[in-house]
Amino acid sequence: MEIRVPQLPESVADATLVAWRKQPGEPVGRDENLADLETDKVVLEVPAPAAGVVKEIKIQSGATVKSGDLLAIFEIGVAATAASAAKAAPSVVVASAPAAKASGDKLGPAARRVVEETGVDPAAVSGTGRDGRVTKRDVVAHAAKQAAVPAAVAVAPKPQPIAVSAASPGPRAEQRVPMTRLRQRIAERLVQAQQTAALLTTFNEIDLMAVNELRARHKDRFEKQYGVKLGFMSFFVKASIEALRKFPVMNAAVDGDDIIYHEYYDVGVAVSTDRGLVVPVLRNAETMGFAEIERQIVDYGNRARLGGLALEDLQGGTFTITNGGVFGSLLSTPIVNAPQSAILGMHKIQDRPVVVSGQVVVRPMMYLAVSYDHRIIDGREAVQFLVAIKDSLEDPGRMLLGL
C-alpha cells in the first residue's frame, strides 16, 4: 500500500516532513503515527491505515512535500516481519505497552506519545475515535481540562551545545540550525506587515486597582462556579470589544483600495510556544462571558504547547491582543498581525507612585500600547480607542452597563 501526503488545508501549499516516527520493519498499529508534517501553522500526523510495517521510505526527513506525494510503501499485517522487528527493537514495545495496558485496547497508538509527555492517566480519557479509541486530540483536551501545562511535543531536535575545552581555546563554537516552518512564516508575516502597512504605536497607562479589587472579591466564587480562574485577559478582551464598538476602524482591514469593516469580533490571543508564537482566535468574542473567555484561553494555551491546535483555530481574526507582561516586559511596540489593522500590547503590572485627587499613592499600573495601520486609522482614533480601554478597566462597571 502507498502512504501519501494527506490532502493539506486549502490555505497550505506544502509542508516539511519533520521526522519519521516509524522505521522500515518496525511494527505499526492501526492509526499509529508514521510521520510528522509541519506546515507554517500546525503539525499534522500521518496515521497508519492498518496494522503492519513500513516497507520502504521514499522521502527523507527535512524534505518539502505537497498533497499526494508518495511518502512510503506500507505492508499490511506482516506478522513475521513485525515479530522480527520487535526483537531487534524491544524498547519500542516496552515503551508503548504500559500506556496500552493502562487504557485497555482503546488507547490509540498515535496518542501514546502525548500520554507519555503529559503524564495524563489514559484510563481517565474518554475516546472519540473509531470504536472508542483515544486519539491525540482526546488526550490534549483532557490535559487542558485539568489546566495542566505539560512539556511541548517535540517537532524537531534541538541543537546540542558544542563543548569547548577551557584548557585549549581552539576554534569558537557555532551552530547552524534551519528555521522551522512556523518560524519562517512568522518572519515572513512580520516583514510583510512592516513593508506594506504604515505602522505607528501610541501608549497609555492604566490603574488596575479596580480590576484587582473586583477579582479579589469574586475569584474564589468564580472558580468554584465555573471551574476556571478569573484572570486578567478576560477583562482586556471585554474592554477591547467595547472600544472596538466605538471605533470600528480599529477592527477593520485593508483590501486593495477598499476598507473591510468587520461587524463581528474575532479576537486573536497571542500564545508563546517552543515552536514560536501562535495566535488562536476567540470566535465571536462579543457573545462570550468572562468564564467562557478564560476557559477558551486556557484550552488554547494548553493545546498550543502540546502541538494540538487545529488549523481552523488559527485562521481569521479581526483584532489581536498580546501580553509581553508575562515575560516581564514593561514596554514594547507590537507589530500588527496582517491583514488586521491594530494590535493591543499588554505589559507587566508594576506598583508605581501616582497622583490621585492631589495625593501621591501607590497603585498597580500597566503600560498599554496599540500599534495600528496609519493608512486607515488616524492618530485621534487610536488614542481615543486606548483611552476607551483605559476607562473600561479603571471602572469595570462601564463594561456591564455598556458605557
Residues annotated catalytic, as ranges: 374, 378
Euclidean distance between CA atoms 345 and 334, whole angstroms: 6
Euclidean distance between CA atoms 385 and 391, whole angstroms: 10
Written as nine digits, the cell of 379 is 492618530
Helix 233-246 and helix 379-394: axis angle, to 10°? 140
For β-strands 281-282 and 350-356, DSSP reports them as unpaired
Written as nine digits, the cell of 173 is 563554537
Q: What is the 3-state secondary structure (H, E, C) of 357-402?
A: CCEEEEEEEEEEEEEEECCCCCHHHHHHHHHHHHHHHHCCHHHHHC
Which of 288, 293, 271 has the alpha carbon at shortest distance from 280?
271
Residue 241 phi, psi dihedral angles, 5° rounding: -65, -40
Euclidean distance between CA atoms 368 and 59, whole angstroms: 48
Written as nine digits, the cell of 153 is 511535543
Q: Give Cα separations from 208 to 190, 344, 365, 393, 395 (angstroms).
A: 31, 16, 6, 7, 9
